């Protein structure tokens, strides 16, 4: 039987690459996203659900649909996230902090909450959480994002402990800078905050990576597909960095 896979934030970027990767392996895919246009660009063969991954009602309805359509769930990629503000801690608005944490951390929590009983019933399942190397190192001017991504690793570790006896695995991927519009926006905001230029900031990030390169959404998706495969059957409770090896998360250039 083909895998049944849910990917939150699956309409674009890493999430869409994950969906494409699983679909290429013959999986049935359901993607959620807040962006109606992004969902419209996804293949007709995928199931789609527009909504906010941090909304309990939306996520409850998504899992009710999964039960109706598939009868169970094999893989959950808790991928929905936002970059949040780029600012010194004293300049971060509380509502912006809360929103960043809600989408990233609460979205992952809700995906796990509603997946757990279904996976327990079938005594199998895989949860993959998209964290960040910000969850391993922290980043100046990114307090909301780094806080959420660190907490997501704590959530994953707890899930691995709670769910492991039921045959369920949980892991987190920690991408580095991923090529695309999101990191471009982060770099532009950081350049503004530091009185620098996007070119200098980007060069600094690249200089802090052993392989001197950003990663792609496909690189991250490849890891998610592997972590959900039988080849990773005893890999659980782990944080896997896909970042070309970060030596210095905040190089001063």
- The answer to whether residues 141 and 130 touch, using CB atoms and an 8 Å cutoff, is no
| Three-class SS state of 157 | helix
- The answer to whether residues 17 and 225 touch, using CB atoms and an 8 Å cutoff, is no
What number of helices (H) and strands (E) belong to the chain? 10, 7
**Tokens read off for 207:** 């200089």
Residue 132 to residue 194: CA distance in whole angstroms = 22
- Our CA angle for 160, 247, 207, nearest 5°, is 130
Which of 207, 220, 213, 188 has the alpha carbon at shortest distance from 249? 207
For helices 217-227 and 13-24, angle between their N-to-C axes, nearest 10 degrees: 50
Q: Could you give the strand order of the β-sheet that contains 4-8, starting from the edge strand earlier in sequence?
A: 47-50, 28-33, 4-8, 75-78, 125-130, 168-175, 239-242
Look up 145 and say whether it is catalytic. Answer: yes
Residue 243 to residue 62: CA distance in whole angstroms = 31
Active-site position among 114, 137, 145, 205:
145
Terminal C-alpha separation, the chain: 52
Type and span of the H or E element at 22: helix 13-24
Q: Annotated catalytic sites, by residue? A: 145
């Amino acid at each position: 039987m083909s895998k049944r896979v849910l990917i939150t934030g699956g309409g674009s970027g890493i999430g869409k690459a994950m969906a494409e990767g699983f679909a290429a392996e013959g999986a049935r895919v359901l993607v959620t996203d807040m962006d109606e246009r992004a969902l419209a660009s996804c293949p007709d063969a995928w199931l789609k659900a527009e909504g906010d991954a941090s909304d309990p009602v939306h996520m409850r309805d998504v899992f009710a649909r999964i039960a109706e359509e598939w009868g169970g769930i094999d893989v959950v990629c808790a991928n929905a996230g936002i970059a949040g503000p780029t600012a010194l801690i004293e300049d971060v608005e509380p509502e912006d902090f809360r929103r960043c944490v809600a989408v990233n951390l609460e979205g992952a929590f809700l995906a796990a909450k509603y997946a757990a009983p279904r996976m327990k019933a079938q005594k199998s399942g895989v949860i993959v959480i998209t964290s960040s190397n910000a969850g391993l190192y922290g980043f100046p001017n990114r307090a909301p994002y780094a806080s959420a991504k660190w907490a997501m690793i704590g959530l994953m570790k707890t899930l691995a402990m709670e769910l492991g006896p039921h045959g369920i695995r949980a892991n987190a991927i920690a991408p580095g800078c991923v090529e695309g519009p999101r990191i471009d926006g982060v770099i532009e905001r950081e350049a503004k905050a530091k009185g620098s230029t996007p070119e200098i900031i980007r060069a600094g990030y690249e200089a802090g990576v052993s392989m001197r390169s950003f990663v792609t959404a496909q690189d991250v998706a490849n890891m998610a597909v592997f972590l959900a495969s039988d080849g990773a059957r005893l890999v659980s409770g782990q944080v896997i960095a896909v970042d070309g090896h970060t030596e210095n998360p905040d190089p001063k250039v």
